[in-house]
Structure 1
Amino acid sequence: MLTLVDTRRGDRLPLGWCTGRLVRLCASLPYVEAELSILGLRIAVVTDLLRRVLEELHGQQAMVAVAAPGMTETTLREQLEPLWVQAPAGVIDSPHAGAEVLGGPIDVLVTSAGDTSAGTGILRLTVGAMTGPCDGDGSVLRMLVLLRHYAQSAHLDEKDLDAADETLYRWRELIARWGAQASAPMPQEVVSRAYAACDDDLDIPAVLALLSSLEHDDDIREGAKFETFAHLDRILGLDLARFLGH
């Protein structure tokens, strides 16, 4: 079962109450002059990860609203699409208006430490501060976000961007090569550990570490590596199959 650390309570809260019904998520995004900051992009990606885990691993239907006062849906979509973040159900001025868009009260509010929307949402996830450049390839920025647990603060620099770009490019090349090999079953131990990491307060860095180990495991067939990377990318959203057929 997916469990998350509630920032207000300081303890773990399973999303068991959401079983069998729509899960309503709200992302509260800071921005400057209609441009999302790197922290705003991070919050959007974390919310998208939560949606993907709910839908892909648990068969839940999830709907997302974004609180970004004064920002139009078109502007927001233009900034989020390069990061493979699904367009929200609606853009609102405050999380308190989330129920109007989502058809019911917010289940999880994903926000920053400075957000004063106290009491909004059954569960609150506070995303750690992040500074640094927020331009460049959207998939690379998403990779940078995934490399760190959402609650940890981080400062990014050009070296971080280059390293993420290098890893992403290498994985895409490998997947294109592995995809030409005969398919093979995914290693269940790796997949099970990846699922468990996702359910453990969205420990996505642990999932990336598993994939890094799998990349260099000579005992696993290339076809199995391809299936595993492609399968877990449904959660990661890194467009790892981009070079297939090239």
Structure 2
Amino acid sequence: MPACARPPAYARLVLRITDARTGEPVDAAPARRGLTRVEVHASGFDTTNLRVLLVADVLVRTLELGGTPVWALLTGGRRQAELRAGATALGIRPFEDSPDVSAGLGEAQVIHVAGEGDATTDGVRIDVAPAHPENPGTSDGTDPAVLRLALLTRHHDTPVRLEEAVLDEARGTLARWRGAVARWARQPSRPVPDEVRGRLRDAWEDDLDVPRVLDVLRRVETEPDLPDGARFETFAYADRLLGLDLTRDLGAPS
């Protein structure tokens, strides 16, 4: 993966998402440095609603990586305390309680993130497909980061089944990557190759295609000509979006 000069297109993030109302791609941040309001709609406490919050968390992280200011709000219904506790366990950063935002704050864009079939008000909309099983209790005892990775392995418009095989694969991937990142960190640091950075950003700028981000990391993991220091920096950079705490085992005994 030879490094090359970074194209001007990567000077700043140009995130485009598919508006579920129209099926057309739209800019998530149409005005440079303009505020984007992300309004999350969660009607209760189950795995699908946790997935809604996770997609919103990835959206906020993506916008912030591009320097876009974000106002993130949660509009919910029942079992809000449980929903927020579950979100915290999954590494989802807190959302503000939704006040009366009818007047707005002069946002350049408003994006609603909701489960399929949930009603929202005007604005761009991201629909999140169901996650099964619906009862979060069925995943008791699972490392929350494993559950987060399992939910991220499918695009947000595709249903995901949290079967034991899916969780086992996520568990093995997470353990392998954390161990590899800890080993790579012992080598001299090298910058993220521009070509790799470009492919990562191409993926997450394209309707939050996190599964393609994961594919890029799998290739980086096994690319024979890439220095380990560059692998480390690549995984650390991508984890700003993924939120998997991939550097957790730095300094741990071999």
Q: Does 1:174 align with 2:175?
A: no
Deviation at 1:231, TM superposition (A): 0.8
- Aligned ranges for residues 1-246 of structure 1 at < 5 Å? 1-31=14-44, 36-56=45-65, 58-72=66-80, 74-91=81-98, 97-99=100-102, 103=105, 107-117=110-120, 120-132=121-133, 134=136, 135=139, 136-246=142-252
Q: For residues 30 and 144 of structure 1, do their structure 2 counterparts lie closer, same or farther at Cα, with a shift above 3 Å needed?
A: farther
TM-score normalised by the chain length of structure 2 = 0.86
Instruction: Tell me, in whole angstroms, the C-alpha distance in 1 between the residues paired with 2:203 and 2:227.
Output: 23
Q: TM-score, normalised by structure 1?
A: 0.88
Per-residue CA shift, 1:201-233, capped at 9, x if unaligned? Answer: 111100100000110111100010000000110
- Native 8 Å contact 1:30 1:37 kept in 2: no
Amino acid at match of 2:22: R
- Give me the whole-angstrom Cα distance separating, in 2, the residues matched to 1:141 and 1:38: 10
Structure 1 pair 91/107, CA: closer, same or farther in 2 (3 Å)? closer
Contact 1:24 1:104 in 2 (8 A): no
Contact 1:108 1:121 in 2 (8 A): no
Could you list the runs of 5+ residues in structure 2 that have no partner in the other structure? 1-13
Distance 1:75 1:99 in 2: 27
Mapped to 2, the partners of 1:98 and 1:215 lie a distance apart of 45
Distance 2:82 2:159 in 1: 27
Q: C-alpha displacement at 1:77, in angstroms?
A: 3.1
Tell me the matched-pair count.
233
Q: Distance in 1 between matches of 2:182 and 2:25?
A: 39
Amino acid at match of 1:110: V
Measured on the aligned residues, the alpha-carbon RMSD in Å equals 1.9
Distance 1:143 1:204, change over 3 A: same
Moved more, 62-71 or 156-165: 62-71
Identity %: 34
Counterpart of 1:125 in structure 2: which amino acid? I
Q: Which runs of 5+ in 1 are unaligned?
A: none
